Amino acid sequence: MQQANMLQRLFGAGGGPLERTPNKAVLFGLRFTNLAVLLILLVFFALSAPGFLSLVSFSNILDSTSVFLLLALGETFVIFAGGIDLSVGSMLSLGGVASASYMSERFAAGDDGVLTTVVGILIACAVGLLGGVLNGVVIAYMKLDPLIVTLGTLGIFLGIADLISNGLPVGDLPPAAFTLGNGQFLHVPYVAIIALGFAAVLSFVARKTRFGRYCYAIGASQESVRRAGVNLNRHTIMLYGISGALAGLAGMLNAAHFSSASSSAGANALLVAIAAVVIGGTPISGGEGKIWGTVIGALIYTLLDNGFVLMGIASFWQLVVVGALIILAVYLDEYQRRLRLTVGISRDTEGVAPALAADGAAGQDSTGAKASA
């Protein structure tokens, strides 16, 4: 009971990182700004862009969203905890090149089976996990700023990708890889099913597990979490490991889609990933946010891309609009923060340590009870 009360105090009755404010209509409405933008874009392009309302168009939107969504999901968890990972784009390139090199070599040797593609997926995830763990270890044990560390590894991973591929695209992938990257089930691309599956799992992890609660708590008050006895080093390594593994997987799926991988594949990936997170409502300072908000943010980016192409608008205008949306999202987050302070609602950082202490104590009591039994 004590644990439930403490967690309710920290995360609110509904499981979010902020206390509920049902009588504050403005604050409530601002929480759905990203969804409103998505709906407005859908209506606008449906009326303005020829061919937008078609199965082919929506399939393309899901297809284009999926790879960047995987990147953004990993980035979201890192930002929840107040960190940042600038290396996800180069990790996408490295994971794609590493897996494509293996699959291309096996295909050239006459192996075009499903097993080769499965091993390619594992290689991409392992390479990404390794890179993410490296980021986490350096950040956790050397006590360096994540911005500087991941900026450095951005160049390192990109250089390794160039070394593996000799600066050239890696092609000739097996048919099974092409099917994974371009196949559909009921007009829904396989890659979209994979990405949305990860979104569902990670949403559950963020809202319903101790690991997810720790992510929010670290972003809200890292010092309070440290005093509560949480192993911050281990948690940091896990966070960046997840981000790296998802980036590696995204690289493999991107290579499978285009039947080719190159070190330049993740050139714009970092911008898209962070844009999806911020437009989705997760503040860059951490401590709050939702996985499904990131999904909406990624869809907004892809809708702009697809809609502008159908309308014949130059693609560089998309960057202008996305940049404006990022600034607007940050402004709205700051506005919400000030509004919460005005009406007496703020993030309950003082309750972080006791809540987590109760959480840990409950876990120890449970372990002791099982041992006694």
Residue 33 has a pLDDT of 78
> Pick the residue with more confidence: 110 or 93?
93
Residue 110 has a pLDDT of 78
The percent of residues in the chain predicted with pLDDT above 90, rounded, is: 36
Residue 3 has pLDDT above 70, yes or no: no
Decide if 254 contacts 265 (C-beta within 8 A).
yes
Residue 21 has a pLDDT of 43
Position 15 confidence tier, pLDDT thresholds 50, 70, 90: very low
**Cβ partners under 8 Å of residue 284, min gap 6:** 79, 84, 278, 330
- Tell me the per-residue pLDDT of 70-93, one tens digit each, with 9 for 90 and over: 999 999 999 999 999 999 999 999
Bridge partners of 189, per DSSP, are 184
| 73: amino acid identity, one letter | L
* 3-state SS, residue 261: strand
Decide if 84 contacts 284 (C-beta within 8 A).
yes
Residue 280 has a pLDDT of 87
Helix (H) or strand (E) holding 130: helix 114-142
Residue 368 has pLDDT above 70, yes or no: no
Burial of 7 (0-12, 13-18, 19+ CB in 10 A): buried
- Tell me the per-residue pLDDT of 288-342, one tens digit each, with 9 for 90 and over: 888 998 999 999 888 888 888 888 887 778 778 888 888 888 787 777 777 766 6
Decide if 183 contacts 117 (C-beta within 8 A).
no
- Tell me the per-residue pLDDT of 26-64, one tens digit each, with 9 for 90 and over: 555 667 778 888 888 888 888 888 888 888 888 888 988
- Tell me the per-residue pLDDT of 120-141, one tens digit each, with 9 for 90 and over: 999 999 999 999 999 999 999 9
> Pick the residue with more confidence: 21 or 251?
251
Residue 373 has a pLDDT of 45
CATH number of 2-359: 1.10.3470
Domain boundaries, the chain: 2-359
CA–CA dist 339, 336 (Å, integer): 5
Q: What angle do CA 64, 68, 74 make, to 5 degrees?
A: 155
CA–CA dist 373, 258 (Å, integer): 56
Query: Lowest-confidence range among 3-7, 22-26, 233-237, 328-332?
Result: 3-7
**Model's pTM, two decimal places?**
0.83
Residue 367 has pLDDT above 80, yes or no: no
Decide if 315 contacts 294 (C-beta within 8 A).
no
